[in-house]
Amino acid sequence: MLIGANVSMSGKAMFPGAVAEAVSYGATTLQFYIGAPQNTRRKDVSAMRISEGLAAMKTAGLSHLVIHAPYIVNLGNTKKPGNYDFAVEFMRAEVARAEALHAYSMPFHPGAHVGAGADAAIAQIARGLNEIITADQHVTIALETMAGKGTEVGRTFEELAAILDRVTNNDKVMVTMDTCHMSDAGYNVRDDFDGVLNEFDHVVGLDKLSIIHVNDSKNPRGSHKDRHANIGAGTIGFDALYAIVHHPQLTDIPKILETPYVGPDKRHMHPPYGVELNWLKTGNYQPEELTALAQS
């Protein structure tokens, strides 16, 4: 099963350190940000220890490296034209870094229209992708399903399809499903995931699905909040998420956890991924294990 979590690539350990963290959780795939998601400061690829990281992945049997694009890039903002050129230039460089890391795919938050309306944002996002994407790149950009918080674009499958339809090198753009985001957007992930998957297939196409972010939600369906919860601790629930992870149509799709760290206070927080991945692999849901981790 292709399942893993968002890990850290930082400090001196860099890529090999990210692989070691994923291995410690019992993962078979992994995701990380090349730098902090809130800014665009990046180390040169020569400092990332790429050959060591790739060798460590091969030794551990990990595959389908996922590199998440930072949140700070907003191709949908038509009200500040000066930001657009910077966003395109940065994303070109980020794609080049992902290529150097031999990444499989790159989840990308499409952007927000900041009051100009979804149609204007969709047109500009597609325009930006056409300037960023090259025909010979290997890593795909995977537009993420969004919760619809504020003026976010991508809260419906139709909005994602409208972007995809405008991209010239269409084989280089895919979709990331986020279970929390879809539920918060109004899709019935908990009780009718097969129906959600069928709708996605008719509107976008299952062949366009590249990654699944497996997250519970702290809020009711349709809340448009985007607040991730730990597996089984939210409104989607363990049974629904377990069924998604083991869905026969999604066997070859990497599933990545982005659930919150737990701990007694902000200075003592622990990643939950080893516990949660074990639950999702075995079906043996033991919430007290996470409670114990949070108290340690």
Check which CATH number belongs to the domain holding 53 and give it.
3.20.20.150
CA distance 208 to 57: 25
138 is in an annotated binding site: no
* Among 158, 151, 154, 127, residue whose Cα is nearest residue 142: 154
Taking the C-alpha atoms of residue 148 and residue 122, their distance in angstroms, rounded to an integer, is 14
Distance of alpha carbon 60 from alpha carbon 83, whole angstroms: 41
Long-range contacts of 156-164 (CB under 8 A, 24+ apart): 156/185, 157/199, 157/200, 157/203, 157/204, 158/203, 159/110, 159/118, 159/122, 160/110, 160/204, 161/203, 161/204, 162/122, 162/126, 163/110, 163/122, 163/125, 163/126, 163/129, 164/204, 164/208
Of 33-37, 97-101, 220-224, 288-292, which range is least confident? 33-37
In this prediction, residue 39 has a pLDDT band, given cuts at 50, 70 and 90, of confident
The answer to whether 191 is a known ligand-binding residue is no
Q: Which domain holds residue 223?
A: 3-294
Give 72's pLDDT tier (boundaries 50, 70, 90): confident
What average pLDDT does the segment 96-125 reach? 97
Q: Is 89 annotated as a binding residue?
A: no
In Å, what is the CA distance from 51 to each residue of 14, 42, 58, 102, 113? Answer: 11, 18, 11, 10, 40
Token pair for 13: 């350990």
Mean pLDDT throughout 117-138?
97
Q: Is 246 annotated as a binding residue?
A: no
68 labelled as ligand-binding? yes
Q: Which of 175, 179, 254 has the alpha carbon at shortest distance from 207? A: 175
Partners of 144 in the β-ladder: 176
Identify the sign of the CA torsion 38, 27, 45, 142: negative
The Cα 221–Cα 152 span in angstroms is 17
Q: Is 268 marked as a binding-site residue? A: no
Average pLDDT of the residues in 204-208: 98
Cα 31 to Cα 209: distance, rounded to the nearest angstrom:
16
Q: Is 270 annotated as a binding residue?
A: no
Residue 213 is assigned to a ligand binding site: yes
- Assess whether pLDDT exceeds 90 at residue 37: no
Based on the structure, what is the number of domains in the chain? 1
Band of pLDDT at residue 251, cut at 50, 70 and 90: very high
Is 202 marked as a binding-site residue?
A: no
